[in-house]
Amino acid sequence: MTAKALADFCPGILHAVPAKDGLLMRLRLPGGRLPPATLRAVADLARRHADGGLDLTARANIQLRGIRPDGLGTLVEGLTAAGLLPSPMHDRIRNILVSPFAGADPTEIVDLTPLAAALDRALIADAALADLPAKFAFTLDGGGRGFDPGGADLTLTAVGTRLHLSLASRPTGQGTTLEAAARAGRRFFGCDVGELAVATSTQRLEALERAPTAPGRRPAGRRALPSDVR
């Protein structure tokens, strides 16, 4: 199967694909977070227009299966009303992963969940990024308990008091700050990633760097990003 054919088969809200049990749709959940009210809305729509199940994918997205063709339009309208399609043109490229333990792991250096939301806003604000491949994935790793990012294309990993950038799972050796990571990321896709909330996140990392710690040791406990990065 060609790369184009594989891309065409990658499902989204606006790109339901045929399967043995009906149409299949994938809902992107940047950071793997979903408010309870939105989850209830998705479950109700799945009962009315699909097989009633919610499949959780390896990238912490949700798949709906067994979608009936005559209910597809109403399903899309319902998911849009629930806030799951903030930008139709970016439907399939909002693949942003964080550790499932983020915010609850006492060993992580920094909780990057707020940065996932900031990155999502940056993605959908940039029309050029809608041309990224449908399977292109970003991973934000706060440096705590390890997890499998599933072959991410761009990864930011907290190491000590810095964020290190890897492209296609290979360390760049130059993304030691968030600002440097943004520059390298722009070179990687050939367009701007909205600076990845550089100012506020870099301020927090600089604060971590100034915090008194024993030589060669990282700050203990979970460190949150600023409240203004939501």
The pLDDT value recorded for residue 198 is 36
CA separation for the pair 11, 91 (Å, rounded): 9
Of residues 58 and 225, more confidently modeled: 58
In this model, does residue 211 exceed pLDDT 50?
no
In this model, does residue 118 exceed pLDDT 70?
yes
| pTM of the entire predicted model | 0.74
Average pLDDT over residues 180-196: 48
11-15, 110-114, 123-127, 166-170: least confidently modelled range = 166-170
Buried b (16+ CB within 10 A) or exposed e, 20-34: eebbbbbbbbbbbeb
How far are the Cα atoms of 90, 111, 148 from residue 199, in angstroms, in the given order? 24, 16, 28
CA separation for the pair 148, 157 (Å, rounded): 13
Give domain limits for the chain. 13-85, 96-210
Indicate the fold that domain 96-210 takes in CATH: Sulfite Reductase Hemoprotein; domain 1 (3.30.413)
**Over the chain, what is the mean pLDDT?**
76
Percent of the chain topping pLDDT 70:
69
Question: Which numeric CATH code is attached to 13-85?
Answer: 3.30.70.3340
